Structure 1
Amino acid sequence: MNRLQKANEYIQKNKEKVCFSGSAIEKDGKLYLMYTGHIDPNMGFDRDETQIIERQCIASSDDGIQFEKYQQNPVIGEKELPEGYLICDFRDPKVMQVNGVYYCVLAVRNKQRRGEIIMFKSSNLLDWTFHSSIYQAKFEENTLLECPDLFRIGNKDVLLFSVMPCDPEFQEEVNHKTVYVIGEMDYINGTFTSESDGLLDYGQTFYAPQSTEGKNGERLLIGWLHRWHQTTPPKDFGFNGMMSLPRRLTIEKHQLIQQPAVKLDEYFTHSSYYEQIMINANEKLDINGDHTCYLKIIFSPSNTKRFTIELNKSETQSTRIVVDVENLRISFVSDYGHQNQINIDHICENINEEMTLEFFIDLHTIELFINSGAKIVSFTAYDPDKGKNISIHGEGKTELKQVIFNTVRSNLR
């Protein structure tokens, strides 16, 4: 028996060997999950594309706890996927209903080995037909796309997807990241017109986010904080990666704004407050920090040139955020986690307006929201011996209007 025959035999016995990510939707009082059934006889080792099949499946539940798989799975497979696409990379369905019609967007690899986002449609969630290709990665970018999301904010549509190298030879030149594209989705004709785009996160660990609608109609987003091809947590941690803070999404001036969807008073208690602080060169403001805390700094770029914030500070190590106002850049470098320096440019549009830096510091993560979510940086490090103190160093004229430090409430520890 040759390898292809063995693979076919394996496929018949294992319709859904592994479940990959998907999404959920309510229909007729039941919760429906649409997910990717992943089949790989080698379970990820010695990848052989001829043996890998990814199909889209359905499971439903009356109570949100016990789920039953649809007996006719898969609902989207080889028969529904048009020629020109590879079934080995065909995953991550995000399902939605628009004007009484169900649509789902999916990530797929085309025969040029690059990523596309394609759309299927259905009248009943069970019978699906190919609708269109709505986004294609440029060939020269050498990227594969994953975990698409499509939703509307106000009068604009937003397409999200995560980016990875399309093949191992591009691993050093293509970083894992998540992109947003703002535009117009024509569901009837299956076309997406792009108007502006940007990064959801400037760090090296934010990936595969998905959004949902909040109870007041707001759009909420949660991502996966994961370390790619770098350090992993010790085995006794029992996990690898964690969820980000939820982010509330809005659109301002063709830009996606992400604000922390967290009620500060419910999670943090006031600890220290400083107002109108002047820190000269070689001076510093020290704060007795904690492993889980919140730090907010407000300053005027016109009165400040450059300063450095040290987080997770011990006697010899720290994570340093250098705020270079003159060059409109923030640099993020750490002694923890063995990560490269992160640079965020064009940190403000008007130096006459206040700037705000909000840090949410957890045991293994730091999430920095710049100017109320205009730009965000996420950082992950599993080092068990990180320090907990905070220092703000002046490097030239540094005038801080407010410094707010809060610790996590005792009942949440």
Structure 2
Amino acid sequence: MFKKYNKVLKEDYEKWYAEHESDREETAKDPMRLKFHLMPKTGWLNDPNGLCQFHGTYHIYYQYTPFEPTGELKLWGHYTTKDFISYIDEGPVLFPDSEFDAHGVYSGSAFVKGDTIHYFYTGNIKCFDRDDYDYINSGRGSNTIHVASKDGYHFSEKDLLMTTDDYPEDMSCHVRDPKIIRRGDDYYMVQGARDIDSHGLILMFHSKDLSHWEYFDRIVPKEPFGYMWECPDLFELDGQMMLITCPQGVEPKGIDYQNVHQCTAVKMDYDFENKSYEICDNSEFQQLDRGFDFYAPQTFEDEKGRRILIGWMGIPDADYTNPTVEHGWQHALTIPRELHIKDGRIIQRPIKEMEQMRKGELICTFSEQGRMESNLKLYEAEVRFRHCADMVLTLKEGVTLSYDSGLLTLDLGDFGEGRTTRCAALDELKDLRIFADTTSLEIFVNGGEEVFTTRVYSSQGKLSIDGDCSGTMKIYCLRPLEIGERE
């Protein structure tokens, strides 16, 4: 049926979709399904793509394998919303149906210009005519493709902009994930890359019209930092240019870089006119998330001027698992987060619209002598500390967040399916904002200066706090997202 290295047309998908109604019905019964996160009906979801707001509607595209939970072949799925509470599942919109993307419609982005949305993505090709291909320096094609839309639903013909032959000669076959930034009348495209010596970097291309592109420059760290940089995003935030990227192959260092692949942010001062830049030392790269399941985020600026980030609540090549695979689905997107700069670092806060999902409020006061406890499974909690020398906060049965001697530790106990502990160093613990879904946690620390995102599989609700600490906790029940289908 769904073959990984054959073209897939829209008609193929529609036929297979009709044949899998019983699978969707069974998956919908899974108690591990999330309530306030976007996820696939069945199959696999990964990178958010093409994020934008156009004429008041937010468009959220994503990497999608519709009928199997292992990510065999990539399409672009599509959700829309006007308020981040009610969504429409628009179904897949981009298929691997051409000679230059037949092995996957890989990640990309959207750029709104006037009355048109321009999309740029990587078309994946693998060659199978020789046994000695390593698919790093040989046997792979990474094509940069452009399509346009006047409404976000209907797309122009695919336009092949660049192939592997158009990238610098010292690059491997791994160049992907285009994202656009505008400066005056000029457009610049950043792409993640791996050179032939397995050093990660960013390639930059220039255009005057979004159609014709030429190589412009490269951004490299002061010292090697991983073998591949995926999903680059170059943007200005509160007057400071920032680069988000996902370096692969960074070695663990103490409590840092504990995941198989990383997601980082770093300050940049790029002079587009003189083609020069300053980038911080590797020690100043910020980990965007301290949890187990966060990768490939993408940001966009909405019509209110907010810089919003959505990430993949998952990660490639991890040695831990998701039992949802047994029910025919895997992964989700994070809740949307608004970004700002504080002390030269990105802070992440849940977008304001998340407050509309609250139903009911419980306010608890805790002190050195008194403790509180709740059995909620699905909740938002806001904790503000007047004093905290140490504490243990139980988030779900058997799952804790503890603070002691300046170290904040998330421990999934027996409920991580291979996930264990992750930590962040803090000068002090001032506040927490926690979103607990059926099988996920998103924890925002000290106003979003640190974040932990993870899947977790404790089925029993428990929320309690203990330790040498005092303060208040507000607890909210949360209503699920409203998700419909286009008629």
TM-score per shorter chain, which class? 0.7 to 0.9
Mark the runs of 5 or more structure 2 residues left unpaired by the alignment: 1-97, 252-256
- Give the residue type in structure 2 aligned to 1:376: V
The separation in 2 between residues aligned to 1:232 and 1:223, in whole angstroms, is 18
Give the Å deviation of 1:265.
3.7
What does residue 35 of structure 2 align with? none
What TM-score, normalized by structure 1, do the two folds share? Answer: 0.83
What does residue 398 of structure 1 align with? 469
Secondary structure of the structure 2 residue equivalent to 1:69: coil
What does residue 153 of structure 1 align with? 237
Q: CA RMSD for the aligned pairs?
A: 2.5
What does residue 373 of structure 1 align with? 448
| 2:135 matches 1:82 | no
- TM alignment of 1:3-402, pairs within 5 A: 14-17=99-102, 18-41=104-127, 48-49=135-136, 50-70=138-158, 73-86=159-172, 88-136=173-221, 138-139=223-224, 141-165=225-249, 175-195=260-280, 196-227=284-315, 228-235=318-325, 237-275=327-365, 277-280=366-369, 284-290=371-377, 292-300=378-386, 303-313=387-397, 318-324=398-404, 327-334=405-412, 335-337=414-416, 338-348=418-428, 355-381=430-456, 383=457, 386-394=459-467, 397-399=468-470, 401-402=471-472
- Give the residue type in structure 2 aligned to 1:103: Y
Matched-pair contact (CA < 8 Å) for 2:357–2:480:
no
In structure 2, do the counterparts of structure 1 residues 412 and 403 end up closer, same or farther at CA, with 3 Å as the change threshold?
farther
The separation in 2 between residues aligned to 1:299 and 1:173, in whole angstroms, is 28
Instruction: Render the CA deviation track for 1:353-412: whole Å, top value 9, x for unaligned.
Output: x7111101112210111111111111113x3x6211212123xx332x211111013786
In structure 2, do the counterparts of structure 1 residues 47 and 231 end up closer, same or farther at CA, with 3 Å as the change threshold?
farther
Instruction: Render the CA deviation track for 1:183-234: whole Å, top value 9, x for unaligned.
Output: 2121223333125531111112110000000222121111111042320343
In structure 2, do the counterparts of structure 1 residues 68 and 293 end up closer, same or farther at CA, with 3 Å as the change threshold?
same
Q: How many residues align?
A: 369
In structure 2, do the counterparts of structure 1 residues 340 and 124 end up closer, same or farther at CA, with 3 Å as the change threshold?
same
The separation in 2 between residues aligned to 1:180 and 1:69, in whole angstroms, is 34
Q: Give the structure with higher Rg (CA).
A: 1
- Give the residue type in structure 2 aligned to 1:200: L
Could you say which structure has the greater relative contact order, defined with CA pairs below 8 angstroms and 6 or more residues apart?
A: 2
In structure 2, do the counterparts of structure 1 residues 166 and 47 end up closer, same or farther at CA, with 3 Å as the change threshold?
farther
Give the Å deviation of 1:83.
1.3
Matched-pair contact (CA < 8 Å) for 2:393–2:465:
yes
In structure 2, do the counterparts of structure 1 residues 235 and 342 end up closer, same or farther at CA, with 3 Å as the change threshold?
closer
Q: Percent identity?
A: 23
Give the Å deviation of 1:252.
1.5
- Give the residue type in structure 1 aligned to 2:274: N
In structure 2, do the counterparts of structure 1 residues 92 and 411 end up closer, same or farther at CA, with 3 Å as the change threshold?
closer
In structure 2, do the counterparts of structure 1 residues 173 and 369 end up closer, same or farther at CA, with 3 Å as the change threshold?
closer
Matched-pair contact (CA < 8 Å) for 2:122–2:178:
yes
